[in-house]
Amino acid sequence: MRRRSALALPFLATAALATPALAQPQAPRGIRVIVPFGAGGIIDVAARLLAEPMGAELGQVVLIENQPGAGATIGARNVARAAPDGQTLLVSGAAHAVMPALYNDAPDPARDFTPITLLSQQPFLLAVHPSNPARSLPAFLAWLREKRDTATFGTTGVGAASHLAGELLKKLAGVDFTVVPYRGTPQAVTDLTAGRLDFMIDSQTLLAPLARAGQVVGLAVTTAGRSQLLPDLPSIAEVVPGFESSSWQGMYAPAGLPAPMATRLAAAAQAALARPELQARFADAGLQMMPTGPEALRSFLAAETARWVPILQATGARGG
């Protein structure tokens, strides 16, 4: 069943008439934001934090709808096929940049969507089950080399940022493991804490409390520098030169969205992201703001595609 979160605000018809730019075609009153991952993951969290303040800027209802599966392609495909009327938007992450490299029927990330804005990013945490003998990253990499492909790595889907981080680790550290995809982060975490998975690379906000509680063991973070949330942990790059990865989120509309409507949606998202109260809530969730606007997202998406597709090709990763 699809999960929805509605944040309702009255429609400000007078405001829509007050500014000439807003006299152009407007988005309908109910805006549906599709998150192509299960509820509870960091992309879902970012979308839900944004929904209320963005709705306030637009004077409209903003609904969050989770459509997980097939490496984010199910939700992305539904948005790409939706009418370009501003009623259906997508919030996705790194998976959006690599869909065609993994799935034959995936929409094109650049051609089939209108970029609205970048939102935020977050370092990942590499964590293992406490039964693992490794208590440092070098020891864990040695353990992986011993286990070869029998070690299990849980991810929210083939092509998701967590999966890309794992493939990068394979390539740069010369290790191997079996990728186990899940429909959502909570399900993967449940199996990690139960000992049915060997390790994960995922949201530091989600995994750090489990590490403090002794349910998992955090070994390293994925950004080039150390995390402000976990300053005592090394970055993977300190052991594996060149390693850098993070979760990031961007907002899109279907291709063909009228330019005035795209401008209005982008302005509303940027105004919401500039609110101090939203910035504080993002910081509490471990999310770091990124440059906003359509051009920032378009450039970032192109760079991510150019970066990750060769890595997926080198490791032979496929989604189906």
Same domain, 286 and 307: yes
Under the banding of pLDDT at 50, 70 and 90, the label for residue 29 is low
Do residue 134 and residue 118 come from a single domain?
no
**How many domains are contained in the chain?**
2
Q: What whole-number percentage of the chain has pLDDT above 90? A: 70
Calculate the average pLDDT of the chain: 88
The pLDDT tens digits of the residues spanning 30-43 come to: 899 999 998 988 89
Q: Is residue 320 part of a domain?
A: no
Q: Which residues pair with 34 in a beta bridge?
A: 65, 90
Same-domain check for residues 222 and 264: no
Task: Assess whether 36 and 91 both reside in one domain.
Answer: yes
Of 133, 154, 131, nearest in space to 143 by CA: 133
Residue 105 sits in a domain whose CATH number is 3.40.190.150
- Residue 186 shares a structural domain with residue 222: yes
Is the confidence at residue 21, as pLDDT, over 50?
no
Asked if residue 24 has pLDDT above 80, the reply is: no
pTM here is 0.80
What pLDDT, on the 0 to 100 scale, is given for residue 26? 52
Do residues 26 and 68 both lie within one domain?
A: yes
pLDDT tens digits along 72-94: 999 999 999 999 999 999 999 99
CA–CA gap between residue 249 and residue 45 (Å, rounded): 10
State whether 128 and 225 are in the same domain.
yes
pLDDT of residue 7: 36
- Do 118 and 179 belong to one domain? no
83-133 confidence digits (pLDDT tens): 999 999 999 999 999 999 888 889 999 999 999 999 999 889 999 999 999
Q: What is the pLDDT of residues 145-181, one digit of tens each?
A: 999 899 999 998 888 889 999 999 999 999 999 999 9
Domain with 115, as residue range(s), is 4-122+248-315
Same domain, 34 and 21: yes
- 243: in domain: no
Least confident of 162-171, 195-204, 228-237: 228-237
Q: Which of 172, 207, 238 is the last residue of a domain?
A: 238
Question: For residue 19, is pLDDT > 60?
Answer: no
pLDDT in tens, 268-283: 999 999 999 999 999 8
Are residues 75 and 107 located together in one domain of the fold? yes
**In a shared domain, residues 282 and 140:** no
**219 in the same domain as 259:** no
* Domain final residue pick, 238, 256, 289: 238
